[in-house]
Amino acid sequence: MIIKIDWTLCLVADAEIAGDRDLINIIRQAVAGGVTLVQLRAKKLSASAFLELSLKAASLLRKKKIPLLINDRPDIALACRAGGVHLGQDDMPVAAARLLLGKDRMIGLSVSSLKEALKAEKEGADYVGLGPVFPTLTKDTPLTPLGLRGVREIRARISIPILAIGGITKDNAPEVIRAGADGIAVVSAIMSARNIAKGTRELKSEVKHSFSRKRSG
């Protein structure tokens, strides 16, 4: 059975964004603030360096019972016994990743259109990372932001969880949840916070309140 995931707030822990800072310490602070899921991203690291980082993150998060998703690399996800993998459109196909990871690990796919979202669900992705919702400076991308309307349209057409990403902050997170996202994934909203634990806590509070208002309204 696939691990159970609380989609509320995912930290995309990016090694390049961290720069000279200790990424594991950043993750530790975000965990203290209540992050519910961590995706580890390291586009420029060698396989061996990424594996070493992944093993450290997995060890920390396993003790806290927080799932870890590895960006792009099903092999590293297996090696560090992560909860799953998050793939991009140019990465290994979902079906091939499933052969490697089996049925017990989560496979997510980045999508930026209804067509890609429908295809991801059909091919067996367990969730989609949908974005960019808003303009973002964190990732160099030519993609046009979907906006809240795009989130609503895709939510109406797919049944698997939507983890929204791209330019999401404490101020606009409630709108994203109301549009139909099951949770949000952020990079700079947590990693650039002056106090990471406090910033995480405040962001999570906004998201959880949004879910409460959505259920009651």
Active site (catalytic) residues: 41, 110, 139
Alpha helices in the chain (DSSP H): 15-18, 23-33, 47-64, 74-79, 94-101, 114-122, 147-155, 173-178, 188-191, 196-216
Q: Please list the helix, strand and coil fractions of the chain in percent, rounded to the nearest 5, in that order.
A: 45, 15, 40
**163 close to 153: Cβ distance less than 8 angstroms:** no
CA 89 – CA 35 distance, rounded (Å): 26
Instruction: For residue 10, give every residue at least 6 positions away whose Cβ sits within 8 Å of its Cβ, in sequence order, or none.
Output: 35, 36, 37, 38, 39, 69, 163, 183, 184, 185, 186
Reading the block at residue 188, the tokens are: 């700079």
CA 89 – CA 110 distance, rounded (Å): 6
Q: Quick check: helix, strand or coil at residue 83? A: coil
